[in-house]
Amino acid sequence: MLGHPLVPGKTSAIEEGPWHYGADYVSVYFEAEASKLERLIPDPFVVDGGLCHGYVCEIVSVSEAGRDMVSSMPDRTLYHEAAVGVKVRHGTRTGIFFPVMWVTTEWSLLRGLVNGYQKRLADKIAITKLHPLNPGLKPVSAGASFGGFCVKGAEVTLRVDVTVDKEGEPKDLPSFGPVFGFRRFPKTGPSQHEVDEPIEVLKSNSRAADVWLGRGSIKTSLELGEVMPRLGAVYKSGFTISGSKALL
């Protein structure tokens, strides 16, 4: 039974997995300078070319055992996230590594750290939200603009903007492969054991829908050198995470 802190059930900061996710994304796929990206990627992962994925999203997440929390404890199922991912290699396999991922809730932060994501707590994350019955807004269509941002202290750590041109399909979204991460818990005293473990996130049931493609721009406080946007996209995505496995 997973408990963190060491208390069981719904009083735990992390419910026992697997965990299910549904997200609304505002994304920009871009290229950055490989020499800058290398500073963000730990061994044994290696930067593969320079393709990156920056996004801001709103997520609804429940654990397998806590699906009822979507109504009984809705504050424990909804959060916002902003991240930059980098295409990397591990041996002969390519995948994506997120050197930083900002979130808005404690439980998402702790769940991510346990599973190998490099999560940090943001002060504010927001994205464009359209509503079909709002008389002042149109449904998603060609020419619609979307934005998302993340703020930590006085700094805007990530800003993405997308103007869509056409409908797309899930296959139009760039594929990076599996999600890699790192579980790192350093010793704070000589009698402790250190955890220094590259991992692969165990992700399944992945699907996407309501894909719209267009032009995007991105700004971030990360030092990425020259940034060259290649594709902007807004879409919905769903997936399951059942934990992570150590990589040899």
Residue 16's pLDDT is: 86
Q: Each residue of 186-226: pLDDT tens digit?
A: 999 999 999 999 999 999 999 999 999 999 999 999 999 99
Q: How many domains does the chain have?
A: 1
Q: Strand runs (DSSP E) across 135-194, as ranges? A: 145-152, 155-167, 179-185
Q: Is position 87 within any domain? A: yes
The length of the chain in residues reads 248
Query: Average model confidence (pLDDT) for the chain?
Result: 95
Is the per-residue pLDDT at 12 higher than 90? no
Peptide bond into 170 cis (omega under 30): no
| Interior angle at CA 96, CA 94 and CA 97, nearest 5 | 125
Q: Is position 150 within any domain? A: yes
List the structure tokens of 227. 């940034």
Q: Is position 89 within any domain? A: yes
Q: Is position 236 within any domain? A: no
Q: Each residue of 58-106: pLDDT tens digit?
A: 999 999 988 999 999 999 999 999 999 999 999 999 999 999 999 999 9
Q: Is position 15 within any domain? A: no
**Residue 171, burial from CB neighbour count under 10 angstroms (0-12, 13-18, 19+):** exposed
Q: Each residue of 154-197: pLDDT tens digit?
A: 999 999 999 999 999 999 999 999 999 999 999 999 999 999 99
Q: Is position 2 within any domain? A: no
CA 194, CA 35: separation in Å to the nearest integer?
A: 29
Domain residues for the domain of 37 are 22-61+71-131+144-225
SS3 label, residue 127: strand
Q: Is position 13 within any domain? A: no
Range of lowest pLDDT (12-21, 43-52, 177-186, 218-227): 12-21
Q: Is position 213 within any domain? A: yes
- For residue 32, the domain's CATH number is 2.40.400.10
